[in-house]
A and B are shown apart, each in its own frame.
Chain A
Amino acid sequence: MIDGLLMIGAGFGAGLFGSLLGLGGGTLIVPILTLGFGLPLIKAVGVSLVCVIVTSGAASGVYLERRVANLRLGMTLELFTAVGALVGGLVAFLLPERLLEVLFGALLIYVAVTMARRREPARAAGDDAAPDDSVDSVEPEDPAAVADGSLAARLSGPGYRVHRIGFGAVGSVGAGVVSALLGIGGGLVKVPVMHVVMGVPLRVATATSNLMMGITASAGAVIYLLRGGIDPYVAGPTAIGVFIGASIGSRAAHRIDLRILRGLFVAILLYTAWQMLQRAIA
């Protein structure tokens, strides 16, 4: 009973702070379950993928209703993230756990450094995974606003044109592999690829990435689920906690001064990365 409540609380904390800082729950769930509850990393990743799906599902609905996400671009790229997730999900069961722990430690360091260098909340580049009331409306992609018949034009939206679809596809495969290997949404890869490489406005890239997270995590989660990588007694309480925490966090994010929280979080992420690497080496 107490463990169950603790796990709900841990999920709540991961969802709340992940949402406040634009990280999504995945980055935090895996270290909490492995370092805090002693779960094998592979099972923590499976649970984390479920959490990514439930939080991104609710958020994506909001983004679509508000016409922020680019559905055509998202669906085209998620074909590639799904392929990456399929590969990552299969490879995850073949890799030694220590190697996965090293990879996760490196991911945490990368997130901490990215967060430390960022002036605004990390929502733009992270696994933003919960409904966000602060999102302004952006018109959806509009086939009638397309000047020519090229694929790039068809995937573009009003006011911007998509470039380098090939790079986007390759980046999406990478995002899918990372997602399924480490149990994250993959927004850390997808948002920069869409925004910097493909020329998609940041807000649209964030919302579109969120939409893609569902299928990306789902393609990986199916493999974890059928191969015994998801424990329902762990996934249930954690998913409920993350969902509630992310919902509250996304509504509170724009009312809270996040500078101190972000600084504290960078320290926690670096400490967690150190713990994860120590565990891998030990």
Chain B
Amino acid sequence: MTASNPGGLLGSATGAGFAKGSQEPGPPGLERSIARVLTIGTYASIGLIAVGVVLMLADGIGPLSNGPAFDATRLVPDLAALRPAGFLWLGLIAAVATPAARVLASLIGYARRGEREMAIVASLILVVIALSVALARSLEG
């Protein structure tokens, strides 16, 4: 919105330009897209976890019966067999990945807007997340 029309509001760091922004309906595209990613990701993960919990309760599995560790190769067979662990793990992975998806959406949005600085920040956040995965895997076991 205002990024495409900066001249008119320059010199207004204390909110004078803010009135103009507030006349525009709804949040800017990027914020709206990111909000959508977060909402969809959160509800999708909660939905998957809820299915897993229902299956878990139906199978009489107690929460303190030591669930299986995450194993990517077991995910599809567990889902196909309607085993609770498959849905639970997929939901948990989706939950943990949703914030990173939000950052990825921000990266794309900022890159499209030509905001290189913010695109670099988003990239660095994703690098830190990737580093977390790499370090955790290297220390696994």
**Contact residues of A with B, CB < 8 Å?**
1, 3-5, 7-8, 37-39, 50, 53-54, 57-58, 60-62, 64-67, 71-72, 75-76, 78-79, 82-83, 85-86, 89-90, 93, 139-140, 142-148, 153-154, 156, 158-159, 161, 214-215, 217-223, 225-228, 230-240, 243
Whether the pair A86, B131 counts as a contact (CB closer than 8 A) is yes
A-B contact count (CB 8 A): 249
Whether the pair B63, A154 counts as a contact (CB closer than 8 A) is no
The 8 closest A-B CB pairs, nearest first, are A214-B99, A57-B42, A158-B18, A233-B67, A147-B13, A144-B2, A226-B136, A159-B15
Instruction: Quote the shortest CB–CB distance from A155 to chain B (angstroms).
Output: 10
Whether the pair A233, B62 counts as a contact (CB closer than 8 A) is yes
Instruction: Quote the shortest CB–CB distance from A95 to chain B (angstroms).
Output: 14
Whether the pair A53, B67 counts as a contact (CB closer than 8 A) is no
- Tell me the dominant secondary structure on chain A's binding face: helix
The contact string, 1 if C-beta is below 8 Å from chain A, for chain B 11-31, is 111111110011000011011
Q: Which size bracket describes the interface of B in this complex?
A: 35 or more
A156 / chain B contacts, CB cutoff of 8 Å: 13
Whether the pair A139, B95 counts as a contact (CB closer than 8 A) is no
Q: A58-B42, A145-B17 are in contact. List 15 more A-B contacts (CB 8 A).
A: A4-B61, A53-B95, A54-B95, A62-B35, A83-B128, A86-B132, A140-B28, A142-B2, A144-B9, A148-B13, A158-B18, A217-B99, A218-B100, A219-B128, A243-B46
Whether the pair A236, B17 counts as a contact (CB closer than 8 A) is no
Instruction: Determine the residue in chain B with the shortest Cβ distance to A76.
Output: B121
Instruction: Quote the shortest CB–CB distance from B93 to chain A (angstroms).
Output: 8
B21 / chain A contacts, CB cutoff of 8 Å: 139, 142, 144-145, 158
Instruction: Quote the shortest CB–CB distance from A30 to chain B (angstroms).
Output: 16
Residue of B22, B53, B106 near A237 (CB, 8 A) is B53
A227 / chain B contacts, CB cutoff of 8 Å: 136, 139-140
A223 / chain B contacts, CB cutoff of 8 Å: 132, 135-136
Whether the pair B122, A233 counts as a contact (CB closer than 8 A) is no
Q: List 16 A-B contacts (CB under 8 A).
A: A38-B64, A58-B39, A61-B36, A61-B38, A64-B27, A89-B136, A143-B6, A146-B10, A147-B11, A147-B13, A153-B13, A214-B38, A219-B129, A226-B133, A226-B140, A232-B88
Bound-state CA distance A154–B115 (Å) is: 11
A65 / chain B contacts, CB cutoff of 8 Å: 27, 31-32, 35
Whether the pair A240, B9 counts as a contact (CB closer than 8 A) is no
Q: A58-B39, A89-B132 are in contact. Are A3 and B98 (CB under 8 A)?
A: no
Q: A53-B99, A158-B15, A236-B88 are in contact. Are A61 and B35 (CB under 8 A)?
A: yes
